Amino acid sequence: MNSLQASRNQVLQQIQDACKQAQREPESVQLLAVSKTHPSESLREMYQTGQRAFGENYLQEALDKIETLNDLDIDWHFIGHVQRNKTKHLAASFAWVHGVDRFIIAERLSSQREASQVPLNICLQVNIDAQDTKDGCQPNEVVELVKQISQLPHLKLRGLMVIPAPNNTQAFSDAKQLFEQVKSEHAHPQDWDTLSMGMSGDMTEAIAAGSTMVRVGTALFGARDYSK
Ligand SMILES: *Cc1c(COP(=O)(O)O)cnc(C)c1O
């Protein structure tokens, strides 16, 4: 067994244990493999262990990998901050975008998504614990954004994405509560099924609070080297 297979098995086991503890079905949590900074060969190797969903943060790096790995059936998720001038490539090449936090961004993604493609899956990023960052909308903006974005034709608004400060497990419960609370504002509530939260260091706590998708990098691929 190669080392990526071993680390993936370990992460899947951790997800399963967390689900059991929380009395949830193991299939209710999806594993997103966060592969930023890692070379295409590592993604290919991870794919061969059965992994299909990969998350990337940097657009140019991601587009290079999408091109190199175009023989594989990968679901590409963009989990970085979405800038207005990047939406065209995101709409063309990704299956999911997690970092949407303004209506104008969603509107651009919808109008730039080809009608011949399946709708682009979207998570609305919320600054759930009032961090000093410009990423993520405010919790009190979520109702209105869900109302508006869920009506855009070439998008499927799937849920919320949060990145709370480390060890802030209360933020996971707050996100879950908000997630349940705003569902009724959705134009197509049956699409509202994704709570993207939890990373290598806190996936167990996120799953206990109701996460349906954990975004895991380090525990799968090892530490990242940003020097290259
Ligand atoms: C890098 C990143 C992750 C993965 O973090 P790890 O601690 O390596 O698991 C998850 N989510 C987002 C938004 C990231 O940027």
User: How many angstroms does the Cα of residue 54 sit away from the middle of ligand 1?
Assistant: 11
Q: Is the CB of 162 under 6 A from ligand 1?
A: no
Q: What does the pLDDT read at residue 2?
A: 77
Q: What number is the average pLDDT over the span 48-55?
A: 98
Cβ–ligand 1 distance for 217 under 6 Å, the answer: yes
Strand, helix or coil for residue 126: strand
pLDDT 10s digits, 208-220: 999 999 999 999 9
Angle ∠(5,62,92) on CA atoms, nearest 5? 120
The model's pLDDT over 115-157, given as tens digits with 9 standing for 90+, comes to 999 999 999 999 999 998 879 999 999 999 999 999 999 999 9
pLDDT band, residue 227 (cuts 50/70/90): confident
pLDDT at 48: 97
Of 119, 76, 126, 118, nearest to 100 (Cα)? 126
Tokens 């104008």 label which residue? 104
In this structure, the number of other CB atoms found within 10 A of the CB of residue 165 comes to: 12
197 pocket-lining for ligand 1 (C-beta < 6 Å): no
Residue 189 CA to residue 45 CA, distance in Å, equals: 37
pLDDT for residue 1: 63
With CA atoms as reference, report the closest residue to 74 among 56, 57, 60, 86.
56
**116 CA from centroid of ligand 1 (Å):** 31
Ligand 1 within 6 A of 158 CB? Answer: no
Q: How far is the CA of 163 from the centre of ligand 1 (A)?
A: 9
Task: Please give the pLDDT value at position 176.
Answer: 98
216 lines ligand 1 (CB under 6 A): yes
CA distance 136 to 159: 13
pLDDT value, residue 211: 98
CA–centroid distance, residue 146 to ligand 1 (Å): 25
Q: Give residue 167's pLDDT.
A: 87
Report pLDDT for 226: 83
Share of the chain above pLDDT 70, in %: 99
End-to-end CA distance of the chain: 28
Ligand 1 center from residue 219 Cα (angstroms) = 10
Confidence of residue 97 (pLDDT cuts 50, 70, 90): very high
The predicted structure's pLDDT at residue 228? 66
> Residue 151 has what DSSP assignment?
T
DSSP conformation class of 99: E
Q: Where are the beta strands (DSSP E) in 103-152?
A: 120-125
CA distances from 138 to 131, 181, 188 (A): 10, 15, 22
Instruction: Indicate the pLDDT class of residue 99, thresholds 50, 70 and 90.
Output: very high
List CB contacts of 187: < 8 A, sequence separation 6 or more. Answer: 147, 150, 151
For residue 34 and ligand 1, the question of a CB distance below 6 A is answered with yes
Helices (H) and strands (E) in the chain, counts: 9, 8
Q: What are phi and psi of 61, to 5 degrees?
A: -60, -40
